[in-house]
A and B are shown apart, each in its own frame.
Chain A
């Protein structure tokens, strides 16, 4: 791993220093040290159970490491208020639920939590950004297709205007055309608003399409990180097999 060299190239948006996470005797994350560079799309790949979701939830403050330190934009997260951290680093999960109510109710949620209301213009604007027509605003969120729900879910997280977006398998339930739309949306957001994106995906083709920087995790360890080309080949035979699409 050439993390020293990378540090000089990029100011990290999130930095991990010997981060471990244990539940009982099980080590789920094992002394992770590395960074997610600012204003880049970092793709996070690795076999099922590698600890990717666990790591992502830590960046949003839903979990805390059992040892080690995480800094977000240079500040240690245990010194930040959890609410601040969560608004700074917004998260979308593959199965983020829709709350009962209309699409508008879901979009308004992040503001409602702060005692504010969402104007109709702003709601329509955000719907437009994620590629949904205005008529969806009053629809019952439970009756949307999986792809539409995923777009609403992304739009909902965008309401906090987070500078860091944490995305966990957000396209794995989508049909190819919705998948393209969501990829374009994230790319546009990233370019227009200088947003740092961390993107977990099982799809190595997608990782290479979307990512500028990559992390490879296996069994709770960070086995490689660097420019996206690290996904082309690994010197570790088992990791190389994973990169060639052999999941066994």
Chain B
């Protein structure tokens, strides 16, 4: 239970600059999710916090001490690995008791803690088994139990759910959330799955090419992404991006010209923010859920247009509709009943209050 600080943290392998000077403050008892595409340096960052990887430059603080030179065994950190890394020659009980035995905890205390953790994780009947007699989901639980019993300052997870099948993954996700509520500690959770990050984390850290793109609450990441990368990475299906030109709409208002025939008015409250980009080529970003079938009396900031449907994917509650503007494929999310047969033109409404304007020069959201 401690805060973690990363200061200008660098990691260089022989040729690869895996982590390139990141700064991050993780609060006491906070659940932080590190997300990003494969190879962006998430695991490396986590391993440096654990002490399993040397730090090329920078500083890591856990609580109020700098741990750069502290060996893993003295950092009081527990880690759950992607492949669980259980001790195959020990029973589940011994797997969980191992760390406590090394710390010379009394037998009675070990027993109490192991049974408590087994209780939390529902693995009470498995205590006498060996890892190879367990299913994937059970091994996952044991791996977490092994971390919980030690009551460490910091919990690290490295893609703990990626070896489970889809259904179990969702189930364990909820479970992890429940456990975090019961066993309050600081958690750093690495995943490449933005849904896991959104559902679990207090704050999300999006990484790309060894750098942090943005840090924020799930809500901020979704509603106010700062870069095009974050905008496209968070949310599923991902945000639509269309080249556009910011033009004057008369009366001091602005509009986005997408094609010769299609222009969308910018809501007046945003006009001031975008004015400096007048007459420039920009990128218009809008999530599928903000393009829908036409709604009567939609309110201000809603713009309408028509397009021919190309592909329709019913998902039950909503139907994803794909069409293209100027050869760029756009995805919209419509009510199933409003969607006609493929090939027909369909009227759409865009909620321009949810739009993002991206400067292609630096891929930042303005």
Verify that A and B bind, or say they do not.
no
